[in-house]
Amino acid sequence: MSSIIPGAMLGLLGGGQLGRMFTMAAQSIGYRVTVLDPAEECPAGSIAERHLCADYHDPTALHELSTTCAGVTTEFENVPADALQFLEQHCVVSPPARSVSIAQNRMLEKQFLAANGFSVAPFLAIKNNDDLSAEIETIFFPGILKVSQFGYDGKGQVRINASRELPNAFASLQQQPCVLEQLLPLGCEISVIVARGFDGEISLFPIAENQHVHGILDMSIVPARIPAEIAQQARKMAAEVAIKLDYCGVLCIEFFVLTDGRLLINEIAPRPHNSGHYTLDACITSQFEQQVRILCRLPQGSTALLTPVVMVNLLGDLWQSGEPAWSKVLRNPNAKLHLYGKCGARPGRKMGHFTVLADTVEQALQQAEAIKVSLKNR
Ligand code: ADP
Ligand code: MG
């Protein structure tokens, strides 16, 4: 099949910050973008050529996308897989509806990974109260109860010490279908962004070491400070997941590195990912540009890292006493500031990020930490 030529209109389901960065990458190669997002104001909608303000199921909006766009992609995994399925019948779609339907459901995702021989945390399906009355093995405690769908940034999760706490925890999650997972001793967390083209060509971005605070990504350190064997194993597993999923597009695989050195897959995200934002400033090709290239059947770009980098998320908490003083970031000439144009800073809301580029990862980390501290101390 031939490529989608610059100048063409691309469709995007979801108008958040990932969509905004995809739109910028698409526009810089000369494409135009139509965003479908039910929110009147959204980070991608405000910069795209068109914004269809409608529900993701809306038949008129989906018809409009399918007839005016040469290719369609998505920026968040909770987009209804049936919307993607509909679009697949009319235009090029990346990622495929089937992969998205697996990755957007924690239970299906874990079953898929386990069935294909990938190591994951011991898990158990908790679909209803009957599942709670059965005796639950002690290996699951302490554990984490996670909703199967629509959880993100640590939301929809409850930590549990013993089985007697399960009924209350399940009730607090509105008795939605859940996965109970053993709480693991984490040495660190890493992620691999893998890109796979319609022709099966695979490229892997450098591994990020991710630090979370209250379940939300706080910082990504690249390259990850892990032994070479673990890095190699993670790259191999990431490529295998993309192949087994028959994936097309950019995919993120989150891993746990346990204190005993074992490598487990935590979860997969069928889209560019927060832990890959560093690629905008520190790689020859960003994760967003790679998604544009794959969707448009252009050759993939090099994922080579130009310099060590640390990415720090900017959450709404920082806005408590008004707009932060951005000079604290920008006065470091090796720092890059990215703001998503969101109005309404709320605690925990991702408003932007910054990166620091340096000759060594230690220097990047030290400078990023210093900027973080200065932003908090007004
Ligand atoms: P989300 O979809 O919200 O990102 P995750 O399953 O990735 O959900 O969980 C968020 C964070 O919580 C993880 O990055 C990790 O720090 C911690 N976490 C999740 N599951 C476990 C586990 N089984 N053991 C230890 N920590 C966990
Ligand atoms: Mg996660």
Return the pLDDT at 149.
93
Interatomic CA distance for residues 143 and 19, integer angstroms: 34
Ligand 2 mean position to 89 CA, how many Å?
31
Return the pLDDT at 116.
98
The confidence band for 81, taking pLDDT boundaries of 50, 70 and 90, is: confident
Ligand 1 mean position to 64 CA, how many Å?
38
Ligand 1 mean position to 154 CA, how many Å?
7
Residue 377 is encoded by which pair of tokens?
A: 């101390």
The closest ligand to the CA of 187 turns out to be 1
From residue 291, alpha-carbon distances to 107, 273, 294 in Å are 26, 11, 5
Ligand 1 mean position to 278 CA, how many Å?
21
- CA dihedral (363, 367, 373, 376) positive or negative: negative
Return the pLDDT at 152.
87
Residue 378 has pLDDT above 80, yes or no: no
Taking only the tens place, the pLDDT of each residue in 141-178 is 999 999 999 888 889 999 999 999 999 999 999 999 99
Q: Which atom of ligand 1 is nearest to the CA of 156?
A: 3
Tell me, using a 6 A CB cutoff, whether residue 154 lines ligand 1: yes
Return the pLDDT at 205.
99
Tell me, using a 6 A CB cutoff, whether residue 218 lines ligand 1: no
Taking only the tens place, the pLDDT of each residue in 221-278 is 999 999 999 999 999 999 999 999 999 999 999 999 999 999 999 999 999 999 999 9
Residue 378 is encoded by which pair of tokens?
A: 């007004």
Tell me, using a 6 A CB cutoff, whether residue 150 lines ligand 1: no
Ligand 1 mean position to 147 CA, how many Å?
12
From residue 91, alpha-carbon distances to 4, 10, 199, 272, 295 in Å are 11, 10, 17, 21, 11
Answer for the pair 44, 288: CB distance below 8 angstroms, yes or no.
no
Does residue 33 or residue 163 have the better pLDDT? 33
Tell me, using a 6 A CB cutoff, whether residue 152 lines ligand 1: yes
Ligand 2 mean position to 2 CA, how many Å?
36
Q: Which atom of ligand 1 is nearest to the CA of 152?
A: 3
Q: Beta partners for 309?
A: 222, 357
Tell me, using a 6 A CB cutoff, whether residue 181 lines ligand 1: yes
Give the mutation target among 148, 157, 180 for probing the ligand 1 site: most ligand atoms within 8 A of CB. Answer: 157
Tell me, using a 6 A CB cutoff, whether residue 77 lines ligand 1: no
Q: Which atom of ligand 1 is nearest to the CA of 121?
A: 23
- Pick from 41, 44, 54: nearest CA to 74: 44
The confidence band for 76, taking pLDDT boundaries of 50, 70 and 90, is: confident
- Single-letter residue type at 100: V
Interatomic CA distance for residues 128 and 182, integer angstroms: 19
Interatomic CA distance for residues 125 and 311, integer angstroms: 35
pTM for the full model? 0.97
Interatomic CA distance for residues 235 and 165, integer angstroms: 38
Ligand 1 mean position to 334 CA, how many Å?
31
Ligand 2 mean position to 353 CA, how many Å?
18
Tell me, using a 6 A CB cutoff, whether residue 184 lines ligand 1: yes
- Pick from 259, 207, 212: nearest CA to 233: 207
All domains of the chain, ordered by start, with CATH?
A: 9-94 (3.40.50.20), 122-182 (3.30.1490.20), 186-376 (3.30.470.20)
Interatomic CA distance for residues 112 and 130, integer angstroms: 24
